[in-house]
Amino acid sequence: MQVPSKPCVVCGREITWRKKWERSWDEVRYCSDGCRKRAKSGAATTEDAALETAILTLLAERGAGKTICPSEAARRVAGSEERAAWEHLMEPARAAARRLHAAGRLVVTQGGHPVDPSHARGPIRLKRV
């Protein structure tokens, strides 16, 4: 039997069904307390939207078959090439990529091969579908 899963609405990580959620699976939206708090505070919604837009814009500028690094989107949103200005945006940029992947808008690759972004460790590249 295939265990159901769905993406977290905040970070895009895969949430795998658990027995304790048997009666409330449709209500489960977040993978962790941290994501729940982030969603409730609403603090990062404009930043998240800006990162998603930056990723899609960069991919459109590159053209079909080309890839980008999430750090390029972080640099664009930060408005600076200085590492201190954009480094804190790296995990939010990867989360934006996971959300776009879950929506079917891009493919996440490592070493030129598609990977599941929820389990990818290390450098990743983003490519249009």
Q: What is the pLDDT along the chain (129 residues), one digit of tens a residue?
A: 688 889 988 888 889 999 999 899 999 999 899 888 888 776 667 888 999 999 999 999 998 889 999 999 999 999 999 999 999 999 999 999 999 998 999 999 999 999 999 888 999 999 998
The model carries a pTM of 0.79
- The identity of residue 22, as a single letter, is E
Tokens 């899963």 sit at which residue? 5
Name all domains of the chain by residue range, CATH numbers in brackets. 5-41 (no CATH), 45-128 (1.10.10.10)
- Candidates 79, 93, 91; CA nearest to 126 is 93
Asked if residues 9 and 48 have their Cβ atoms less than 8 Å apart, the reply is no
Torsion sign over Cα 99, 104, 77, 122: positive
